[in-house]
């Protein structure tokens, strides 16, 4: 993906990544993004779930959502996704950092009006959060689809930034008796808690079992 004036990484440029495959990989490893836009002449940042399908990200919500209503009007947006992979603990306070993978995307969201694409977008969000769940549950009915807005965001202008590795201290600080290194961080699930109203005899589904096991493995 060709870097633009907005996507080119200026601080620590060596950490910038513009390869579409790597950008997609970072996006695919998460499901929560933060979208920034200007509403009524002031900046707003709203967290929301997303799903990727091919060269688009999909977001959804109630037709009354301020975010979705604003974005339908052709509002320019900035979208960010971040993974924290480790706390980088240096010998000095100044050189503490973190290992991370992030993507920043710019664009304009488009209202999805085609029913087929709308279902693709909703499934993409579901799959992004927990695989196979869409196939296990009741699909949305006409009333629910009418009450839901789906927007697509083309992945045309984006870049990634990644930091890995140990801390980098000043040369003289390596002599200090201070522990330094990386504390790995990962998101994991705890034991699934059944709904108190769950029907008797219903066991954990494949989606939940696989998600929980994958989460434990990291």
| pLDDT at residue 20 is higher than 80 | yes
Q: What is the pLDDT of residues 31-74, one digit of tens each?
A: 999 999 998 889 999 999 999 999 999 999 998 887 898 898 89
HEC states along the chain?
CCCCCCCCCCCCHHHEECCHHHHHHHHHCCCEEEEEEEECCEEEEEEEECEEECCEEEEEEECCCHHHHHHCCCCEEEEEEEEEEEEEECCCCCCCEEEEEEEEEEEECEECCCHHHHHHHHHHHHHHHCCCHHHHCCCCCHHHHHCEEEEEEECCEEEEEEECCCCCCCHHHHHCCCCCEEEECCCCCCCCCCCCCCCCCCCCCHHHHHHHHHHHHC
pTM of the shown model: 0.93
| pLDDT at residue 11 is higher than 70 | yes
The domain defined by 13-167 folds into Pnp Oxidase; Chain A (2.30.110)
The structural domains of the chain, with segments of one domain joined by +, span 13-167
């Amino acid at each position: 993906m060709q870097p633009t004036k907005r996507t080119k990484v200026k601080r620590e440029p060596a950490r910038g990544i513009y390869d579409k495959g790597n950008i997609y990989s970072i996006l695919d490893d998460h499901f929560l993004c933060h979208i920034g836009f200007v509403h009524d002449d002031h900046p707003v940042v709203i967290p929301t779930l997303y799903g990727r399908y091919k060269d688009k990200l999909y977001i959804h919500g109630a037709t009354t959502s301020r975010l979705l209503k604003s974005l339908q009007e052709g509002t320019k947006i900035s979208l960010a996704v971040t993974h924290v992979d480790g706390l980088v603990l240096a010998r000095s306070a100044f050189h503490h950092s973190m290992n991370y993978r992030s993507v920043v995307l710019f664009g304009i969201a488009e209202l999805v009006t085609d029913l087929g694409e709308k279902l693709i977008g909703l499934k993409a969000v579901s799959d992004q959060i927990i695989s196979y769940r869409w196939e296990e549950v009741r699909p949305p009915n006409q009333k629910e689809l009418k009450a839901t807005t789906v927007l697509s965001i083309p992945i045309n202008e984006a870049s990634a930034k990644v930091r890995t590795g140990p801390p980098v201290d000043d040369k003289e600080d390596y002599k200090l008796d201070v522990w330094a290194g990386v504390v790995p961080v990962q998101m994991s699930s705890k034991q699934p808690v059944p709904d108190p109203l769950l029907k008797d005899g219903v066991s954990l589904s494949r989606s939940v079992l696989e998600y929980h096991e994958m989460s434990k493995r990291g």
